Amino acid sequence: MNWKNQVVLVTGGTGSFGKKFVEIMLKDFKPKKIIIYSRDELKQYEMQASGFDHPSMRYFIGDVRDRDRLQRAMQGVDVVVHAAALKQVPACEYNPMEAVKTNIMGTSNVVEAALDAGVKKVMALSTDKAVNPVNLYGATKLAGEKLTVQSNAYAAGSATRFSCVRYGNVVGSRGSVVPVFLKQRESGKVTITDDRMTRFWLSLEQGVRFVVSCIEQMEGGEVFVPRIPSMKVIDLAKAIAPNAKVDVIGIRPGEKLHEVLISEDEARNTIELDKMFVVQPAEAFWFGYSWQKRGKPLSDGYRYSSDTNKEWLDVDGIQKFIEPFEKLYAAGKLEG
């Protein structure tokens, strides 16, 4: 895939993922045009003022809830990366219809607009919270995944293809626990909800490069899952604030002890490769099944869970991950 010929649109482009995606695109891939599509004019202004003002960049004010605006923005677009979402679990629980309108209806609008505009590839970002969801955020992301994957049935007679990437917690992203622990460290006490809790972990750059690689390889209908390490949340607290007291406050509503990236039922349709898993559509009467020849099927009953993962980050490994965020926090530049 020659990115230099591609026009790329990123929904939610002013977020943590969007900024890093654009940074890597401009540095390494140099697409013909990058369109930032988001609803906050201030964030767009701040992003542009912070150096994201390359001649190939365009800024569109618009909400994924607005299908007409999406259709206008997608004219002449080759690749859409759908990163826009409401993702704070408590906010989604308290404002359930807002989560549904953005994460489900917004995804539907992205799909419809991409089909109407003749976009070639749409990659939607998902989360481990979508597997066996216990909160509304996870449920809306599961619905968004299903909408995206099954929309290939509409696209079978056209050029448009839809796939998803699903991964775990991103170190230091907006709303992540890293900025919270860094701030709590100053008081001498950090709070965690349960000392048994584990999470999948990857850096923002790893996430972006995985998405780019999957866009290049996608046929349509796949859910791509990276092989990533797990870590214990208590080890994260120790890595950030080794001298602070750890206060265990109890698990919150809608929170899991451990996260799952591939369930036992999905494993039946999943192919294992060296650096990732590919969940194939259960009913692929269109395309997306050539992955069978590139990897091996998973064993019966396989479950990719953060507590039984074979790869782990210890305290030292976590410290290496968070070093860049320590520097940003010290400089007052880390977004919470």
Average pLDDT taken over every residue of the chain: 92
The C-alpha atoms of residue 101 and residue 330 are separated, in whole angstroms, by 37
Q: Please name the amino acid found at residue 317.
A: G
The C-alpha atoms of residue 74 and residue 9 are separated, in whole angstroms, by 7
Does position 262 have pLDDT exceeding 90, yes or no? yes
Q: Would you state the structure tokens that stand for residue 321, as one six-digit string? A: 């991950």
Does position 290 have pLDDT exceeding 90, yes or no? no
Of 89 and 287, more confident: 89
Residue 76: how many other CB atoms lie within 10 Å: 13
Residue 247: how many other CB atoms lie within 10 Å: 11
Q: What's the pLDDT band for 225 if we cut at 50, 70, 90? A: very high
The fold of the 3-168+201-227+260-306 domain, in CATH, is Rossmann fold (3.40.50)
Does position 283 have pLDDT exceeding 80, yes or no? no
Residue 261's nearest CA partner among 292, 300, 307, 303 is 303
Cβ(93)–Cβ(254) below 8 Å:
yes
Of 52 and 294, more confident: 52
* Mean of pLDDT values over 83-90: 93
The C-alpha atoms of residue 121 and residue 134 are separated, in whole angstroms, by 30
Cβ(217)–Cβ(211) below 8 Å:
no
Q: What's the pLDDT band for 322 if we cut at 50, 70, 90? A: confident
Q: What's the pLDDT band for 284 if we cut at 50, 70, 90? A: low
Residues involved in catalysis: 129
The number of residues making up the chain comes to 336
Residue 5: how many other CB atoms lie within 10 Å: 9
Does position 67 have pLDDT exceeding 90, yes or no? yes
Cβ(264)–Cβ(239) below 8 Å:
no
φ, ψ for residue 168, nearest 5 deg: -95, -155
The C-alpha atoms of residue 321 and residue 274 are separated, in whole angstroms, by 22
pLDDT number for residue 176? 77
> Which residues, in sequence order, are CB contacts of 219 under 8 Å at separation 6+?
161, 163, 287, 288, 290
- Looking up tokens 């039922």 gives 265
Q: How far is residue 95 from each of residues 42, 86, 132, measured CA to CA in Å?
A: 23, 10, 21
Does position 182 have pLDDT exceeding 80, yes or no? yes
Of 175 and 246, more confident: 246
Comparing 35-39, 64-68, 124-128, 178-182, which segment has the lowest mean pLDDT?
178-182
pLDDT number for residue 79? 98
The C-alpha atoms of residue 263 and residue 284 are separated, in whole angstroms, by 19
* Mean of pLDDT values over 167-177: 80
Please say whether the dihedral angle defined by the alpha carbons of residues 286, 103, 269 and 168, taken in this order, is positive or negative.
positive
Cβ(185)–Cβ(241) below 8 Å:
yes
Comparing 27-36, 129-138, 314-323, which segment has the lowest mean pLDDT?
314-323
Q: What is the bridge-based pairing of β-strands 33-38 and 296-297?
A: unpaired
- Looking up tokens 């170190």 gives 171
* Mean of pLDDT values over 278-304: 83
Q: Would you state the structure tokens that stand for residue 171, as one six-digit string? A: 């170190």
